Amino acid sequence: MRRKRRLHKPEFKAKVALTTIKGEMTMADMVENSTFNLAK
């Protein structure tokens, strides 16, 4: 059975985008420090 795709809220997407644009963290750092796993 297929897993349902995760839908992220606009607030989460904005937070990720702003953090990346500001240069505070790289995408790799965010994935490492977050609770979600992109490989799943």
Model confidence at 39: pLDDT above 80? no
Q: What is the pTM of this model?
A: 0.54
**Residue 19 near residue 25, CB atoms below 8 Å:** yes
The more confident residue out of 36 and 26 is 26
Model confidence at 35: pLDDT above 70? no
7-30 pLDDT, tens digit per residue, is: 888 988 888 888 888 888 887 887
Domain boundaries of the chain, sorted by first residue: 7-33
**Residue 6 near residue 34, CB atoms below 8 Å:** no
Q: How confident is the model at residue 40 (pLDDT cuts 50, 70, 90)?
A: very low
3-state secondary structure 1-40: CCCCCCCCCHHHHHHHHHHHHHCCCCHHHHHHHCCCCCCC
